[in-house]
Structure 1
Amino acid sequence: MSPPDFDVLVIGGGPVGLTAAGDLARLGRTVAVLERWPQVNPSSRAFAVMARTLEVLDGRGLADGLLELGTTTPGVDIFGRSRLDLSKLPSRYPFALITPQTNVDAALGRYAVDQGADVRRGIEVVGLRAEADGVTVNARPKNDENPSHEQVLRARYVIAADGAHSTVRRLLDLPFPGRPVLSSVVLADVKLSRGPSDGGLQLGSSATGFAFLAPYGRHDADGSWFRAMTWDRGHQVDDTVPVGEGEVERVLNREMGRDVGIVEIGWNSRFHSEERQVPSYRVGRVFLAGDAAHVHSPIGGQGLNTGVQDAANLAWKIDAVLSGAPDAVLDTYQSERHPIGRRVLFQSGAMLRAATLHPKPARLVRNSVVPRALSIPFVRDLIAGSFAGTGLRYARGRGGGRLVGTRAAGIPLVGERLTRVQRNGRWVLILRAEDEAPESVPHVIPVRRDDDGPAVLVRPDGYVAWAGTSPAGWLEAYERWTGAGTTSADVHH
């Protein structure tokens, strides 16, 4: 292969692709993003940013700005007057941020460009060939059939972040096993004069369908804006059928059990939901992330959050291998993120099936069991942490004990928080008060913790790589991941 044009080509300019591109550019890599749509999509399905994703965004200097553009909710009203309580999350962000995905896209777009990524809009991929030492991509302006306008780009690696209908997945002829699970779901932006009394998230469901409301935090004299999601069991039509006049209002009022006071309906869309996941997130030098790798029910607000965390997990590993780490580091993207994707499919699917139960006895059992389960603090915190991402962890593997694979954002530091320390994308060595600072190691930032916990080595994505009481023990883990000072190709995790 001739010399590459870029270290990494990212296909898809949504939140997943922009996170990956920004992270790689922040580490000094040459990156281009190819996005087939000429303009930023003015509408989008996602609206909830969970606690762990807010921590990831804070590590890029974006969380505070996004919080100013949305509203937060400490919980979600679900079945039988029960509530999924997020206020006890062990995070700086014990809530969900409700804001249109367009705000997240814009923030991540600025981040990618500011870090030096080359974002090219209106360019679609039409061919891809993976070779032993790189990937060749054929691209052209969207809808331009002139062969002379086709360009050939080469990169060491490709990240496919091009959505549920991924062109890269199709060009590689990859399986995407799964099935449709729900049809004729309607999303809409609605202004209500009588929304949820506490301004929080609310789910209403019955034998006839369900409705979901999420506040945007925008108010005027007439009312407040919400994102609505509705499903009517008795009105199942193709995705192309326009949303009918009165359709959203009828389902919202029926499932919420009251007149919600619709003042205005803005953007709306009808779609169907599927549950699918590619068997392998890595195909040689090509990696799939976000909806290109997994799709699932929109209930639970997991799509954007899971995809952004895919990108945060992958980008630093590509950089590490480009710097000399063993290739096996890249295999850990599959071993760490594929189980998380499978878990998200399960939990969002379980919530969907619970919301769409039809037999009355089953709904009565649901409305009895769920509130009782959520009244148990351990169960409440386990479920909340799973949906918020703060409770997810990677396998421990060799060394470091039970903390390895957990998020480190909650560790108190002297004078600073971890997500701010990691805004340059580097490793962090968290020392105890009594530990002697090690000699300077490139790309490792030493800090001190503000409690009596163990010393901890934190990966660039904010997860613990090693923990212990011997301040010298961290170096072995660092060398395994980065290849620094060793030629070993053995990565255990």
Structure 2
Amino acid sequence: MTVLIAGAGPAGLTLAIDLARRGVPCRVVDKAPGLFPGSRGKGLSPRTQEVFDDLGVINAVLADGMPFPKFRRYSGHEVVFERHVNELLGAEPLRRGVGVPYPDLWLLPQWRTDEILYERFVQLGGRVEFGTEVLGFDQDADGVTVQTTGGPVRATYLVGCDGGRSTVRKALGVGFVGETFESERTLIGDVRAEGLDGVFCHMFTTGADRFSLWNMPGGQYYQFVAGVAAEDVPELTLDSVRHLLHERSGRADIRLHDLKWISLYRVNARMADRFRAGRVLLAGDAAHVHSSAGGQGLNTSIQDSYNLGWKLAGVLSGAPEALLDSYETERIPVAAHVLGMSSTLHRLDFRPQEGWTPAIHQLDVSYHHGPLAVDDRPARGRLRAGDRAPDGILDDGTCLFDVFRGPHFTLLAFGDLQNRRFGDGVRVRQGIPSDAYDVDDGTLILVRPDGYIGVMSRRIDTVLTYLERVTPHVVSR
């Protein structure tokens, strides 16, 4: 039983790592000759950092990245303002504490994120077949036969993580509904710069035309971002970038050189109308594309795969097939919300809107309306089934996130379970202080492998019934 993953970007590599650490055979193919070379998706949300903690890559991410810099706006040589992203959005910053171990938006160029994920996958015994393109596929009741430039591949499931122009999505025939901002394009790339002072997102603006230079970790390269009219697209050259900077900054003291990567893209806000059709699934940009405003695209892609990984592994090891249906049911509303938020931020150009504070940290993503959220308590508190399970400190000093880390379910017992035994896929932690999760003594909380609460109940039978739906490793009643 094999999973074939098309695409070795953040979504594909995250899924590959999650499957590999569960012992699920998977093949990853990508039509590119190697990993993506540019800085494109550069912001990692607090929730994505929690995912990376669980996947075993957070140390490398923290070592090679840095907190999101302030935005510095210029008028010529004069500094108009310096503001954090939270100030621009009118939001309160997150505070580091027991429930939030990673409060900062984290700056790391996508090429390095991809590299870290790739290295982790290889460490787990995986490999990526670069230069191998998916051409089409046929599926039947038992699997999928995928045609690639390297020959046919037989897989139990195929997951399209192959970007906004996804071959898998197009071959699947699902709709990709939404809008394209036809009148504008975005020029983006990596370049060295001299003449800038401090670590910022340096913003130079003439009228409505902006040119931004972002310091990247390590100090060698800056990411430049410039909006251009669709009818006035320049050549993709260093001279064009220099001209745009001079035109919009009015400055001749900033010198650009050593263009490493450059791309032009249209701003799209589109989403597939299905994320699953039989044995073929979509994740990441193959399933949804957004404006870059708010930095939601890469983070949402990673969390698609994090939601999908344990479910694929569960079904392949004997859990009911219906478990895979919950992937689409849970992730489509999240993608739709992110699409709407990023489009609004794009139109507002980060100008605060009264009565609306977008949460770009993604800690508030919840599946409490989904099919895998069960809460039969007579009285419910602020925390709900389907919410992210918060971190916490136990009496012995252990962090709950340390307990959650790994591919297992975790049962938190705010009371005594009377030594009941569970299968290998469920770890039990008893005697947790009830105030840690704002629940009454005697409550049972089942935390899914992706860190979301599946069950909140006072009845062990409720937990057992739930486990029968999502895993083959269940204690006998």
- TM-score higher than 0.5: yes
Q: 1:157 corresponds to which residue? A: 157
Q: 2:288 corresponds to which residue? A: 294
Structure 1 counterpart SS, 2:4: strand
Q: 1:278 corresponds to which residue? A: 272
2:46 corresponds to 1:46: no
Q: How does 1:37-436 map to 2 (within 5 A)?
A: 37-73=32-68, 77=83, 84-88=91-95, 90-141=99-150, 151-181=151-181, 183-191=184-192, 199-201=199-201, 207-219=207-219, 225-233=221-229, 236-238=231-233, 241-242=236-237, 244-250=240-246, 253=249, 261-262=254-255, 264=257, 266-267=259-260, 268-355=262-349, 370=353, 383=358, 386-396=359-369, 397-399=373-375, 402-413=383-394, 414-432=396-414, 436=418
In the aligned structure 2, how far is the partner of 1:338 from the partner of 1:281? 8
Q: Once the 2 structures are TM-superposed, how far is the Cα of residue 451 of structure 1 from its aligned partner?
A: 5.8
Conserved? CA contact 2:422–2:474, under 8 Å: no
In the aligned structure 2, how far is the partner of 1:260 from the partner of 1:468? 64
Q: 1:359 corresponds to which residue? A: none
> Cα–Cα, structure 1 residues 194 and 172, in superposed 2: closer, same or farther, change >3 Å?
same
In the aligned structure 2, how far is the partner of 1:125 from the partner of 1:39? 16
Across the aligned residues of Structure 1 and Structure 2, the Cα RMSD in angstroms comes to: 3.1
Amino acid at match of 2:217: G
Cα deviations by residue, 1:222-246 (Å, 9 ceiling, x for unpaired)? xx7432322145x743586546142
When the two structures are superposed, what TM-score results if normalisation uses the length of structure 2?
0.83
Q: 2:76 corresponds to which residue? A: none
- What percentage of residue pairs aligned between the two structures are identical? 30
In the aligned structure 1, how far is the partner of 2:272 from the partner of 2:142? 24
Cα deviations by residue, 1:234-266 (Å, 9 ceiling, x for unpaired)? x74358654614234236637xxx889455463
In the aligned structure 1, how far is the partner of 2:148 from the partner of 2:347? 41
Q: Once the 2 structures are TM-superposed, how far is the Cα of residue 70 of structure 1 from its aligned partner?
A: 1.3
Amino acid at match of 1:304: L
> Cα–Cα, structure 1 residues 114 and 208, in superposed 2: closer, same or farther, change >3 Å?
same
- Bigger drift between 164-173 and 443-452 goes to 443-452
> Cα–Cα, structure 1 residues 480 and 178, in superposed 2: closer, same or farther, change >3 Å?
same
Amino acid at match of 2:159: I
Cα deviations by residue, 1:343-369 (Å, 9 ceiling, x for unpaired)? 1110110011112xxxxxxxxxx95x5
- Bigger drift between 58-67 and 428-437 goes to 428-437
Q: Once the 2 structures are TM-superposed, how far is the Cα of residue 203 of structure 1 from its aligned partner?
A: 6.2
Q: Once the 2 structures are TM-superposed, how far is the Cα of residue 441 of structure 1 from its aligned partner?
A: 2.6
> Cα–Cα, structure 1 residues 83 and 406, in superposed 2: closer, same or farther, change >3 Å?
same
Q: Once the 2 structures are TM-superposed, how far is the Cα of residue 429 of structure 1 from its aligned partner?
A: 1.4
Conserved? CA contact 1:18–1:109, under 8 Å: yes
1:479 equivalent among 461, 468, 477: 468
Conserved? CA contact 1:239–1:272, under 8 Å: no
When the two structures are superposed, what TM-score results if normalisation uses the length of structure 1?
0.80
Q: How many residues align?
A: 443
In the aligned structure 1, how far is the partner of 2:254 from the partner of 2:364? 37
Cα deviations by residue, 1:178-208 (Å, 9 ceiling, x for unpaired)? 22116321113345566586x4556676752
Gapped runs of 5+ residues in structure 2?
72-82
Conserved? CA contact 1:192–1:260, under 8 Å: no
Cα deviations by residue, 1:120-157 (Å, 9 ceiling, x for unpaired)? 1111112200111111111124xxxxxxxxx2211111
